[in-house]
Structures are given as C-alpha cells and as structure tokens.
C-alpha cells in the first residue's frame, strides 16, 4: 500500500499542496499575532489619551467646584486654554436634581452660542449622550468614532466626570481622525497601509510560486501525453518535446527526450537491418555447406559411419537454419513493436478466442485448453503482439503437458494492471532455473520420443514473450504450481 506521506514528499503536486497549506496558514497565524500586538498598542495609546482627558478634568475641577452663576462662564474660559490643534474638548453639565438632561456648556475650540444646541443635539443623535449617565457614576473609557458638525471626523476617547455643587460635569475629549493617533485608533487593523502592502506582496509571491509550479505541472503533463502518443502511434517524426515546453528550465530535459526518441527510432531501424543482414550472411555459407554434402553422400553410401556422420551434419544444419530464422523473427518483431501503432485491445476476448481455437486443434491429442476471464481487460498494444504472446505461452505450456492434461488461461484486471496467466500440468521448472527460462536459446524441454531431436524448439518462445511484454511497458514472471505445473504471468498496463 502506498504511504500517503511518502507520496506527498516525492510528488510535485503533493509538495505544491503542502506549500499552499503553509501559505494559507502562516498569514492567519501572523495576522493574529500582529493584530493582538496592534490591539495592545492601541489600548496603551487610548489609555494615554484618557489620562490626558483626566488631567484636563483635574485642571478644570477647581473652576467647576465654584458656587454661583459664573461657574459655567469661568469654566468656558478655562477650557479655551486646554485645547490644542489635535485635542478638542467639550464640557457638558447635568444640573443637580436633573437625571434626564445634559447641557453642552462650552467647547474648545469654541462654538457660537447658536451652534451649541445643534452640537448637543448631534451628540444625542450619535448616541454619545447615552453614555453620560454611566460616566457620572464613574470613569467610562471609550473610543467612539464621531462625525462632528461640519463633517469633521473625530474620535471620542474619554468621559471624565466631575461632581460639583452645580451638578455632574462631564469633560469629553476627542481627537481628529486625520491625526496619527486618531487614525490609528479609529481604523481597523486590516485597513492599515502597511498591512495592505504586506498582503499585496505576499499575494504576489504566492501567485508567482503558483505560476511556477502549475507551469511545471502543465509541461510534465504535456510530456506525458506526448510520450503516450509516441508510444501508441509508433512514430515521432512530427512531434517534439521541446516544442511543447513552456518552462525554459525544462528545455534541456525536453531536448534530451527528443534525442532519446530519435535514438530509439534509429535502434529499431538498426535492429531490423541487422536481423536481415545476419540472416543473409548466415544463409549463404549454410547453402554452400548443404550443396557440398550431396556428392559426399554418394561416396559415403558404402560406409555406415560416414553416412551417419552426414545425417548428423544435415540435422545440425537444419537446426542452425531454423535458429537463424527464429532469431531473425525475434529481432524483427522487436523492431516492429518499437515503431508499432498501438491501439486499445481486449486481452480477455482475444484469450478466449485463441483458447477455443487451440482446444479444437489439440482435442485429438487428449489435451484441453480452457479460459477464465473477469470481464473486459483492455491494454494498449497491437493485435499481432498480443497474439504472439498468447501463442508462445500456449505452445510452451502444451509442449510440457502430458496426455489428458489441461492448459488454463486466466485474464484479470488488478488496479491499473492487466494480468494474463497461463498454467499447465507439466513437471514445472527447477527453482534454480526459473529466472533463466526467459533468456534467448534456453530450453529445458524434455524429449518425448526417439524421433524428437529438439529441432523445433530453440528457447525463443519465452524470450519473445518477455521482450514483447517489456516493449509494451509490462513484465513477465514464472512460478511453479503446488504439486506440479508451471504458471507464467504477463503483466501489462491497463489502457
């Protein structure tokens, strides 16, 4: 079973998903930490501003505690000296014995007498006056965004009460939001310019990394599609890996792939030419030897030993000729398969058909051939290549099966693999020799009679099976069955 962690550590897509997870997690963690730090900074700043409000209240307290009708006028004069360009102060009074009304007595900077009632009404409409009752019971720190008359944005930062004979005085200090302190306290942390700039750079970095990874994945998928097309079509003359590469760093790899494909094409041509040249080169001296034996046979008719030697030579020449033809077919089939145009074929249906045909042919010899399939099992191959594989497996199994034996073909799909297995009732193969039965010119077939000299068996069949399976992207294995018999299994990629 594939380990998900190991697959993710090796897969480019897996690394990209992990990287994407980190990119989404890190900003959340950092944003939370920075937001908490900003909240602490704003709380400290707000406390500082509230302390300033209390100091203003303490400065006004002697004036506010005076008895008499001049107390509001004296307070308004004292208030004018406390305000700055950044700090605005409003003085409100809830007269003694009144629990439901506050009066705006003075502001700094000062407002005309006609504007005081409008400003008080504006404070009421914006909900500021609703906090004043609580403020008279004790300090009530706050940070309220407040739109003053005239459109000026302010931040109310304190409500400082002073209890006097005249009633409850409330000193309300505010800061303009265009001031650095006011802006910092009024806006959300996410709206800070430095935060937005950092998010923009982080987003740009994430986009660039995503483009790099996605571009690489797109190129690799294009490589895969092109490689599959070359394998199935059997020709690469009009296709190029370099032409489908968009990432410059992958261009050297693409060029090496193109050279590899060209080398395979050249190897297929060289293999076919070598097979033809070797066969022609061997057949000429074999023909000369065969012709030279004819006069010798007439002269050796009276010599039994000479006649026997000539028979042995003729049989050896016949076997040598068959070996040359078999080797030529093996090399030519490999060369043809390298450049063959593959298509989607059902191995199960083909195995069923061939099993029925072989069963009819070998019924007189008291041999049975059966097929067992689990439904359609498609692979990318040529019909000739699959027929060659099944034919050689059946011939090999039948040659070892005793009279009354059964050869069984099984086809099944396991995940993305199709397995074709052929079993016989023969003697099997010594375990030490199992690994070598797929090599060329290796034959462990016993002789069944005096007339069987082995000239029809050259150890080529299973070698053809192995080479064909490997050229189709598969593999072949062999194992002894419990008791007696051999199972040869060909595994091919499912289409």
Same domain, 187 and 299: no
Question: What is d(CA 184, CA 43) in angstroms, rounded to the nearest whole number?
Answer: 11
Backbone angles phi, psi at 160, to 5 degrees: -105, 115
Asked if residue 9 belongs to a domain, the reply is no
In a domain, residue 6? The reply is no
Select from 128, 158, 191 the last residue of a domain. Answer: 191
Residue 348 and residue 329 share a domain: no
List, edge to edge, every strand of the sheet that includes 103-108.
Answer: 103-108, 87-95, 167-176, 153-164, 144-147
CATH code, domain carrying 382: 3.30.565.10
**Of 14-23, 190-199, 444-453, 454-463, minimum mean pLDDT range:** 444-453
Residue 270 has pLDDT above 80, yes or no: no
410 or 161, greater pLDDT:
410
Q: What is the mean pLDDT of residues 367-380?
A: 90
Residues 331 and 267 in one domain: yes
Tell whether 272 is covered by a domain.
yes
Task: Determine the structural domain holding residue 427 and report its residue range.
Answer: 342-493
Least trusted range by pLDDT, from 113-117, 223-227, 446-450, 456-460: 446-450
What is the β-pairing status of strands 368-373 and 406-414?
A: parallel
Indicate if 38 and 135 belong to the same structural domain.
yes
Lowest mean pLDDT among 13-17, 47-51, 178-182, 257-261: 178-182
Split into its structural domains, the chain has a count of 3
Residue that terminates a domain, selected from 133, 156, 191: 191
Give phi and psi for 138, each to the nearest 5: 160, 170
Confidence of residue 315 (pLDDT cuts 50, 70, 90): confident
pLDDT score recorded for residue 1: 46
Tell me what pLDDT residue 231 has: 67
Are both 307 and 356 inside the same structural domain? no
SS3 283: helix
Judged against a pLDDT cut of 80, whether residue 252 lies above it is answered with: yes
Which of helix, strand or coil describes residue 373? strand
DSSP result, 154-187: EEEEEEEEEEETTEEEEEEEEEETTSHHHHHHHS
pLDDT on residue 107: 83
State the CATH number of the domain containing residue 34.
3.30.450.20
**Rounded to 10 degrees, what is the CA torsion of 453, 456, 458, 460?**
-160
Asked if residues 53 and 143 have their Cβ atoms less than 8 Å apart, the reply is no
What's the confidence (pLDDT) of residue 419? 94
pLDDT on residue 150:
60
* Top-confidence residue, 487 or 251: 487
The terminus-to-terminus CA distance of the chain in angstroms comes to 22
Question: How high is the mean pLDDT of the chain?
Answer: 76
Same domain, 401 and 437: yes
In a domain, 10, yes or no: no
Within-domain flag for 26: yes
Tell me, yes or no, whether 331 and 351 share the same domain: no
Task: Give the end of a domain, one of 165, 191, 217.
Answer: 191
Statement to judge: residues 96 and 133 lie in one domain? yes
Residues contacting residue 286 through CB under 8 Å, at least 6 positions apart: 317, 320, 321, 324
Q: Is there a single domain that holds both residue 295 and residue 360?
A: no
On the question of pLDDT at 386 being above 80, the answer is yes
Angle of helix 12-64 relative to helix 193-233, nearest 10 degrees, comes to 170
Let me know if residue 295 belongs to a domain. yes
pTM comes to 0.49
Q: Which of 16-30, 41-55, 476-490 has the lowest mean pLDDT?
A: 41-55
pLDDT, position 353? 93
- Do 336 and 347 belong together in one domain? no
Are 147 and 212 contained in the same domain?
no
In this structure, the answer to whether residues 128 and 218 fall within a common structural domain is no
φ/ψ region of 386 (left if φ > 0, alpha if ψ in -120 to 50, else beta) reads: alpha
Average pLDDT over residues 266-295: 70
pLDDT > 50? residue 212: yes
d(CA 477, CA 488): 6
């Amino acid at each position: 079973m594939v380990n998900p962690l190991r697959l993710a550590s090796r897969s480019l897509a897996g690394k990209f998903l992990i990287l994407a997870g980190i990119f989404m997690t890190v900003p959340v963690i950092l944003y939370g930490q920075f937001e908490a730090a900003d909240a602490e900074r704003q709380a400290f700043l707000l406390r500082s501003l509230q302390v300033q409000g209390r100091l203003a209240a303490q400065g006004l307290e002697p004036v506010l505690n005076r008895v008499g009708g001049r107390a509001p006028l004296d307070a308004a004069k004292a208030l004018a000296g406390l305000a700055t360009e950044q700090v605005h102060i409003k003085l409100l009074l809830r007269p003694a014995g009144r629990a439901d009304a506050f009066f705006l007595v003075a502001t700094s900077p000062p407002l005309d007498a006609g504007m005081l009632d409008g400003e008080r009404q504006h404070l009421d409409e914006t909900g500021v006056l609703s906090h004043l009752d609580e403020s008279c019971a004790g300090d009530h720190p706050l940070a309220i965004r407040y739109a003053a008359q005239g459109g000026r944005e302010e931040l109310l930062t304190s409500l400082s009460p002073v209890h006097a004979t005249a009633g409850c005085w409330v000193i309300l200090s505010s800061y303009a939001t265009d001031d650095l302190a006011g802006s910092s306290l009024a806006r959300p942390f996410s709206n800070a310019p430095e935060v937005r700039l950092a998010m923009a750079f982080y987003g740009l970095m994430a986009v660039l990394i995503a483009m790099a990874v996605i571009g690489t994945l797109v190129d690799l998928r294009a490589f895969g599609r092109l490689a599959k097309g070359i394998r199935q079509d059997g020709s690469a003359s009009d296709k190029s890996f370099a032409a489908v590469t968009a990432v410059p760093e992958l261009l050297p790899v693409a060029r090496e792939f193109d050279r590899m494909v060209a080398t395979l094409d050249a190897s297929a041509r060289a293999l076919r030419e070598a097979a033809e040249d070797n066969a022609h080169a061997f057949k000429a001296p074999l023909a000369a030897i065969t012709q030279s034996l004819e006069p010798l046979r007439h002269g050796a008719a009276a010599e039994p030993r000479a006649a026997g030697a000539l028979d042995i030579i003729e049989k050896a020449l016949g076997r040598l000729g068959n070996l040359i033809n078999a080797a030529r077919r093996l090399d030519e089939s490999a060369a043809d398969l390298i450049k063959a145009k593959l298509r989607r074929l059902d191995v199960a249906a083909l195995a069923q058909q061939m099993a029925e045909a072989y069963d009819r042919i070998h019924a007189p010899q008291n041999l049975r051939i059966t097929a067992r399939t689990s439904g359609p099992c498609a692979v990318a191959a040529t019909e000739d290549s699959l027929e060659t594989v099944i034919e050689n497996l059946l011939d090999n199994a039948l040659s070892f099966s005793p009279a009354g034996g059964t050869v069984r073909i099984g086809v099944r799909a396991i995940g993305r693999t199709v397995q074709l297995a052929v079993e016989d009732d023969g003697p099997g193969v010594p375990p030490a020799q199992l690994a070598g039965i797929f090599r060329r010119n290796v034959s462990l077939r016993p002789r069944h009679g005096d007339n069987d000299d082995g000239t029809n068996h050259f150890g080529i069949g299973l070698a053809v099976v192995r080479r064909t399976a490997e050229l189709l992207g598969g593999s072949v294995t062999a194992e002894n069955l419990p008791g007696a018999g051999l199972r040869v299994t060909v595994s091919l990629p499912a289409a």
